[in-house]
């Protein structure tokens, strides 16, 4: 806005120009604004309304008040889907961020060919949530998949990892951890922001590698860690594609990969229960909102802003 204001003052007709410039500003915003209202806000309002209705996709929705929400209390498959989702989020996100941070630190130390490694490690992030990779995952962890072939060589007889309820979720966690590239790139950018003089001073004082990492890198990187944490948690809560494709759309075996989002989809489109599915979507929004708020609240105690 300030740049536009300066432009206006250059022309020398301040009040009118300001208005015109505002209009120009809104015009430039229009494509994004239209998208926001048509693709995001519109459907959101619609889904909020639908969450209070019984809507079977074909006939007009019927108002039923809070019934959808009270039904969630006794829906055991929904409870199971929450368990699965929470396990997924709280196992895969810390693992993913730890690996991302460690690799970023190693790469930041000036490894030769860093640009190459950076691209290689980043690649899975671009592909990770794609259908193609999920299909590949199915093959790798299948009964006769790549993993079992490798295990066979070293004499271990593997099993069907994605078709066993006790390991299926694990393969999805591995898939998510594998996409550590995007937080890693953000970590790398953060590491570059840390002034070298701190390290120089610490070295003069005789601090070793570990000490420098713990006392300088980590504290100065906390805003970035926080940023990545918040983003990846939200991202993990919303995971859908991987579980959908790997389980063939069923969330199976035995609902072991039935993410909340997948169950939402199953209710909405498999069971013609779009009212309930909409209520679930809003419930998920609340869950994510609560976790994000808690994250921001906790950040006061561990995130260090150097300003």
Partner 1 sequence: MRPHIRRTAGRRLRALAAMAVATTLLAASACGGDSGGGGSSAGGGGDVTLRFTWWGGDTRTKLTQQAIDAFQKDHPNIKIKGEFGEWSGYWDKLATKVAANDAPDIIQMDEKYLREYADRGALQDLKKSEGLDTGKFEDDTLKAGEFDGGLYGLNAGINSFAIVANPALFKAAGVAMPDDTTWTWDDYTRIAAELTTKLNGKAFGTGAPGTNEAALNLWARQHGESLWTQDGKVGVSPEQVTAFYQQVLKMRDAKAIPSAEAISQDMNAALDQSAMATGKLAMNWMWSNQLNAMSKAAGTELKLLRVPSVEGKASANGSYYKGSMFWSISSRSKHQKEAVEFVNFLANNTAAGNILLAERGVPPNTEIRSAVTPKLQPADAASAKFIQDIGKELGDPSPAPPVGGGQVEKIIQRYTTEVLFGRQTPDAAAKAFLDEVNGELK
Q: Which two tokens stand for residue 259?
A: 């993410």
Chain centre distance of CA 279: 21
Tell me, by CB under 8 A, how many residues bind partner 1. Answer: 64
Task: Assess 239 for contact with partner 1 (CB under 8 A).
Answer: no
Out of 26, 131, 254, 294, the only residue in the binding site for partner 1 (CB under 8 A) is: 254
Residues within window 10-39 making contact with partner 1, judged by CB under 8 A: 39
Pairwise CA distance, residues 51 & 281, whole Å: 8
16 or 106: CB nearest partner 1:
106
Is residue 70 within the footprint of partner 1 (CB under 8 A)?
Answer: no
Residue 65, SS3? coil
- Interface pick for partner 1 out of 1, 31, 59, 154 (rule CB under 8 A): 59
Residues 135-194, interacting with partner 1 (CB under 8 A) = 142-143, 159-160, 162-166, 192-194
Which of 269, 294, 298, 302 is the binder for partner 1 (CB under 8 A)? Answer: 269
Using only C-alpha atoms, what is the Rg of the chain?
25
User: What does each C-alpha distance from 286 to 41, 47, 297, 302 come to in angstroms?
Assistant: 16, 14, 16, 24
Letters for 193-232 (x = contact with partner 1 by CB under 8 A, - = none) are: xxxxx-------------------------xx-xx--xx-
Distance of alpha carbon 304 from alpha carbon 202, whole angstroms? 19
- In whole angstroms, give the CA distance from residue 233 to residue 97: 10
Q: What distance in Å separates the CA atoms of residue 21 and residue 26, rounded to the nearest whole number?
A: 9
Cα–Cα distance between 288 and 280 in angstroms, integer? 12
Catalog residues that contact partner 1 under the rule CB under 8 A.
39-44, 47-48, 56-59, 142-143, 159-160, 162-166, 192-197, 223-224, 226-227, 230-231, 234-235, 237-238, 240, 247-250, 252-255, 261, 264-265, 269-272, 274, 281-282, 284-285, 288-289, 292, 305-307
């Amino acid at each position: 806005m300030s740049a536009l204001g300066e432009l206006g003052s250059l022309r020398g007709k301040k009040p009118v120009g300001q208005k015109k410039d505002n209009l120009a500003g809104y015009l430039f915003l229009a494509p994004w604004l239209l998208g926001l209202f048509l693709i995001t806000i519109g459907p959101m309002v619609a889904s909020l309304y639908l969450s209070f209705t019984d809507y079977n996709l074909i006939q007009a929705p019927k108002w039923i008040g809070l019934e959808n929400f009270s039904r969630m209390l006794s829906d055991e498959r929904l409870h199971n889907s929450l368990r699965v989702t929470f396990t997924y989020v709280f196992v895969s996100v810390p693992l993913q961020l730890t690996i991302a941070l460690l690799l970023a630190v190693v790469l930041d130390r000036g490894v030769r060919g860093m640009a190459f490694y950076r691209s290689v490690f980043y690649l899975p992030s671009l592909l990770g949530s794609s259908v193609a990779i999920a299909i590949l995952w199915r093959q790798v962890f299948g009964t006769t998949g790549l993993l079992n072939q490798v295990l066979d060589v070293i004499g271990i007889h593997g099993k069907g990892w994605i078709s066993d309820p006790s390991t299926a979720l694990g393969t999805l966690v591995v898939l998510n951890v594998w996409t550590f590239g995007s937080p890693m790139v953000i970590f790398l950018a953060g590491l570059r922001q840390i002034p070298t003089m701190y390290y120089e001073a610490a070295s003069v004082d005789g601090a070793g590698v570990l000490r420098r990492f713990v006392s300088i890198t980590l504290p100065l990187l906390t805003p970035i860690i926080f940023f990545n944490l918040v983003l990846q948690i939200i991202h993990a809560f919303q995971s859908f594609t991987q579980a959908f494709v790997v389980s063939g759309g069923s969330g199976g075996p035995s609902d072991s990969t039935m993410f909340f989002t997948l169950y939402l989809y199953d209710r909405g489109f498999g069971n013609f229960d779009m009212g309930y599915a909409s209520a679930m979507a809003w419930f998920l929004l609340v869950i994510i909102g609560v976790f994000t708020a808690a994250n921001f609240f906790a950040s006061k105690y561990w995130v260090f802003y150097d300003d």
